[in-house]
Amino acid sequence: MAFGMDQGGSYYCQGKWNNVQKRYLGLKFTIHGQTHFGWARLNTTCNLYKVDAVLTGYAYETVGNKPIITGKTKGPDVITVEPASLGHLARGASALSAWRKRNEPK
């Protein structure tokens, strides 16, 4: 992701994560045999050849084998989305108004 080198007194850093701010890293890890998903937000800096990373935020799903909802910061744990019909999908954006009318609160 980022690395630094000292080649005979010539220092440099390289990598896609070299000197970045608010970069997100997807996580997949195991707790008691169950897979969990999450993310970590990092800032990285490089001074001479030393790369430092600071963790500025993180989140993970506490329920095993359940994907984390991207961008979700609060609210109910489950989001229910009514599936569109094949006809709506085929019509694309022009079908949105019909779908919205059907799903408006009464």
**pLDDT confidence of residue 86:** 53
Beta bridge partners of 43: 54
CA 84 – CA 3 distance, rounded (Å): 47
Helix (H) or strand (E) run with residue 91 in it: helix 86-91
**pLDDT confidence of residue 18:** 92
Q: pTM here?
A: 0.61
Domain boundaries, the chain: 3-102
DSSP single-letter state for residue 76: -
CA 18 – CA 95 distance, rounded (Å): 44
Q: Are 54 and 46 in contact (CB under 8 A)?
A: no
Enumerate residue ranges in the chain where pLDDT < 50: 79-81
**pLDDT confidence of residue 93:** 55
Which residue do the tokens 């993180």 mark? Answer: 58
Q: Write the single-letter amino acid at 89.
A: L
